[in-house]
Amino acid sequence: MKLIVVDDDEDVRTIVVNFLADAGYCVIEAENGAQALSLLIDQPALRMMISDIRMPGMSGIELAEEAARQCPTLRVILISGFADPHRLRWPFLRKPFRMSSLGDLVAREMAREK
């Protein structure tokens, strides 16, 4: 399964990408929303996007909304140390999180029917 990880913090992005790749996923990465949207168009096999919420230019919420319009079957997980998860319509993990929690959530979301 192919995923995209979007985070403007290169260290966080690298850790998440490496964990998911080690778990057997094919993972690409983007440093911002504009780059992620371009990759979504170029990579139609993408099944899930994991995005930070607070990013310059386009927030992860704005990115998720646009990605959902472009790719209605795309799964989305949002991550942040600052957001209120009660206001989100997508699954959410608060930073810092355990990689096992991320792995469990990714597997659960991939198994869901959409």
**Which pLDDT does position 87 carry in this prediction?**
79
Structure tokens at 76: 């989305």
pLDDT score at 17 = 98
Task: Split the chain (114 residues) into runs of 10 and give each run's mean pLDDT.
Answer: 96 98 98 98 95 96 96 96 82 96 96 75
So where are the chain's domains?
A: 2-111
Nearest one of 43, 35, 98 to 74, comparing CA atoms: 43
Rounded distance, CA 59 to CA 54, Å? 5
Superfamily designation of domain 2-111: Response regulator (3.40.50.2300)
Nearest by Cα to 59 from 6, 95, 4: 6
Q: Which tokens in the block code for residue 74?
A: 């795309």
